[in-house]
A and B are shown apart, each in its own frame.
Chain A
Amino acid sequence: MPLATEPQSRADFTTRICLESPSESNPYIAERRYIAGYDVAELWRNCSYVDALLVLLTGELPSPAQRRLVEVFLIGLLNPGPRHPAVRAAMLAGVSKTAPEHLLPIGLLTGSGSQGGALEVEAAHAFFSKNLDRDPLELADQYLGQQRPIPGFGTSYGEPEPIWQQLATDLLDVMPDHPVLRWCRAFSRVLQQHQQGWLLPGLAAAVGMTLGLGTRETLGLFQLAIAPGVMAQGMEQTHQPISSNPLLRDDQYDCASD
């Protein structure tokens, strides 16, 4: 049963996520804050961060398997590595003495695109949503036969990157009977026979689908998941001299009209 706040002609926003109950002495400050009906103080006293995160994203406390799935996912993406475009962008900004409060947004923006970034998560989620009722083996054969790109799958530098394949295996093992993950396992096995593998956006999309998240929420979960590595690696570079990442020399830079 929805719990309405005080009646008024027009709200600034409406939300199904958060209720703030005002202080009796001042309507601008909150006495208590509730997320999906749970007092946030009760959450911090009794729950893990992942539990609270899933309340926020799904509106419900997770099952043990869901909790484990998200823990594995968040640790897996905690730091996608210093060569990942989002992390690399934050590091580049950090070493170039950019204001440190900008490093995380810079990294997330750089990693927001449709080629390996948040928008590819969106595309992969849409791909799964559209095709989950199809036979995964036939679908994989069809895409491979037509050489059509599959969002969330492919190669990095010519090969599937082993670490993401390992993460996929471990994620799929957490909830092996979940229909989304079962479909993903069958689909990815066909791709693996053709030297195609999981990409990071595909993993994020599979986890989001398994949790029942929408496309946009899954995109956001991916950004949240890579944020710690973006932040930490970027901040580390702020302590380095700018000369530690020198510009390429002129002989390493060819301009067509040079």
Chain B
Amino acid sequence: MTAPATDTAFWNERRRHIRTGIGKWLGGRDVLVRGQWMLRDLLQQLNVTQLAVLNITGRVIDRRLATWLEKTVFFTSYPDHRIWCNQLGALAGNGKTSPVAATAAGILAADSKAYGSKVQYLTVLSLAEMHADYAAGTSLAELVARFPVRNGVPSISGFARPVKVADERLEPMRRFSADLGFTPGHYVEFVEALAEHLRVHHQADMNAAAYACAFLMDQGFSAMEVYRIRTADVLSGVLACYGDLYDCPADAFLPQTCTDVQYEGVARRAVPRPL
């Protein structure tokens, strides 16, 4: 007896056929982007950040918000070799990789729970949950008490900042947000209140990620949209460090002696024979 045939209609419909609402290149004519004509209309109407957000989210944002997003990239791509993704850029440059490989490595490195794009995704998720509970009546002290304490401060995504090392990006970010005509929304007001609580009670503060994420939440972006918009933020800093080392001789970037790496494993031993 033969087994009944599996219904493969779902895959048959998609085999060698694409159905999408994202866009389509119409060779020799124009390109559809979310239902709008790229060359006829969008080329004149949008800047590159607006186009990127349209491609990523389907939303046409106004120029003020596009400018805000561009300005915040100033804070996420410092050309400092010590930052992890930039170290990769420098190592890649010193190895004369292609700039694309270096950038891809740096962007991947910044897909991190500690910094970069992923931490912003996690921060939005965390803020959304905390804000919902706060709105339902949970106190700030109760919210903070849910998080473990690390290095003496509550470990809250976007708030892991000791008060003695103020985040130099916060004030400029608040200032240009105001200069662009934005007023604090519910989420920004919430993170400001939480930061004040942390300063008073825990010698802690928020960092720029919490503020920026709250701002984007006020603008209606989801956690995944923020993750996607922020994916390549570290690009220019990585390439700066890459270029700095590109023409250097081999092993010029932070050379290490054998003992700069400390071994903590088992002692030397012979391979038993016969194996």
A residues in contact (CB < 8 Å) with B: 1-6, 8, 11-22, 27-30, 34, 36-39, 42-43, 46-47, 51, 59, 61, 99, 101-102, 105, 109, 157-159, 248, 250, 252-258
Contact across chains for A46 and B267 when beta carbons are under 8 A apart: no
Contact across chains for A28 and B104 when beta carbons are under 8 A apart: no
Contact across chains for B34 and A4 when beta carbons are under 8 A apart: no
Query: Does chain A have a CB within 8 A of B142?
Result: no
CB-based nearest B residue for A99 = B98
Given A3-B268, A19-B265, 15 additional A-B pairs, CB 8 A: A15-B262, A22-B257, A34-B263, A37-B268, A38-B271, A46-B273, A61-B275, A99-B100, A102-B101, A102-B104, A157-B8, A254-B17, A254-B20, A257-B21, A258-B24
Contact across chains for B265 and A257 when beta carbons are under 8 A apart: no
Contacts of B6 in A (CB 8 A): 157-159
Q: In the bound complex, how far is the Cα of B270 from the Cα of A39, in angstroms?
A: 7
User: Number of contact residues on B: which range applies?
Assistant: 35 or more
Residue from A1, A61, A256 in contact with B35 in the complex, judged by beta carbons closer than 8 Å: A256
Contact across chains for B24 and A28 when beta carbons are under 8 A apart: no
Asked if A16 meets B261 with Cβ closer than 8 Å, knowing A42-B271, A159-B6, the reply is no
Q: In the complex, what's the smallest C-beta–C-beta distance from A247 to chain B, in angstroms?
A: 9
Q: In the bound complex, how far is the Cα of B89 from the Cα of A215, in angstroms?
A: 28
Q: In the bound complex, how far is the Cα of B7 from the Cα of A158, in angstroms?
A: 7
Q: In the complex, what's the smallest C-beta–C-beta distance from A18 to chain B, in angstroms?
A: 7
Number of A-B contacts (CB under 8 A): 153
Q: In the bound complex, how far is the Cα of B265 from the Cα of A4, in angstroms?
A: 8
14 contacts between A and B (CB under 8 A): A1-B267, A3-B266, A3-B267, A3-B268, A4-B264, A5-B259, A19-B263, A27-B259, A28-B257, A36-B265, A37-B266, A59-B266, A61-B272, A253-B20
Query: Does chain A have a CB within 8 A of B23?
Result: yes
Contact across chains for B269 and A14 when beta carbons are under 8 A apart: no
State the 7 A-B residue pairs at the shortest beta-carbon distance, nearest first. A257-B35, A11-B262, A255-B24, A256-B21, A16-B265, A19-B263, A22-B258
Residue from B108, B254, B258, B262 in contact with A21 in the complex, judged by beta carbons closer than 8 Å: B258
Contacts of A29 in B (CB 8 A): 258
B residues in contact (CB < 8 Å) with A: 6-8, 11, 16-24, 26-27, 32, 34-36, 97-98, 100-101, 104, 108, 251, 254-273, 275
Contact across chains for B21 and A8 when beta carbons are under 8 A apart: no
Contact across chains for B104 and A6 when beta carbons are under 8 A apart: no
Contact across chains for B261 and A252 when beta carbons are under 8 A apart: no
Contacts of A13 in B (CB 8 A): 260-262
Residue from A5, A102, A250, A254 in contact with B263 in the complex, judged by beta carbons closer than 8 Å: A5
Q: In the bound complex, how far is the Cα of B267 from the Cα of A88, in angstroms?
A: 44
Asked if A248 meets B16 with Cβ closer than 8 Å, knowing A28-B257, A102-B101, the reply is yes
Contact across chains for A38 and B269 when beta carbons are under 8 A apart: yes
Asked if A22 meets B259 with Cβ closer than 8 Å, knowing A252-B16, A252-B17, A255-B20, the reply is yes
Contacts of A258 in B (CB 8 A): 24, 32
Residue in B36, B108, B264, B271 whose Cβ sees the most chain A Cβ within 10 Å? B271
CB-based nearest B residue for A2 = B264
Residue from A6, A12, A34, A101 in contact with B268 in the complex, judged by beta carbons closer than 8 Å: A34
Asked if A4 meets B16 with Cβ closer than 8 Å, knowing A38-B269, A256-B35, the reply is no
Contacts of A20 in B (CB 8 A): 258, 261, 263
CB-based nearest A residue for B105 = A105
Asked if A15 meets B264 with Cβ closer than 8 Å, knowing A42-B270, A46-B271, the reply is yes
Q: In the bound complex, how far is the Cα of B18 from the Cα of A233, in angstroms?
A: 25
Contacts of B255 in A (CB 8 A): 28
Q: In the complex, what's the smallest C-beta–C-beta distance from A81 to chain B, in angstroms?
A: 16
Q: In the bound complex, how far is the Cα of B221 from the Cα of A218, in angstroms?
A: 35
Q: In the bound complex, how far is the Cα of B24 from the Cα of A254, in angstroms?
A: 8
Contact across chains for A157 and B101 when beta carbons are under 8 A apart: no
Contacts of A1 in B (CB 8 A): 266-267
Q: In the bound complex, how far is the Cα of B251 from the Cα of A253, in angstroms?
A: 50
Q: In the bound complex, how far is the Cα of B258 from the Cα of A20, in angstroms?
A: 6
Q: In the complex, what's the smallest C-beta–C-beta distance from B122 to chain A, in angstroms?
A: 15
Asked if A248 meets B17 with Cβ closer than 8 Å, knowing A2-B266, A4-B264, A14-B262, the reply is yes
Q: In the complex, what's the smallest C-beta–C-beta distance from A57 to chain B, in angstroms?
A: 13
Residue from B18, B35, B271 in contact with A248 in the complex, judged by beta carbons closer than 8 Å: B18
Q: In the bound complex, how far is the Cα of B105 from the Cα of A105, in angstroms?
A: 10
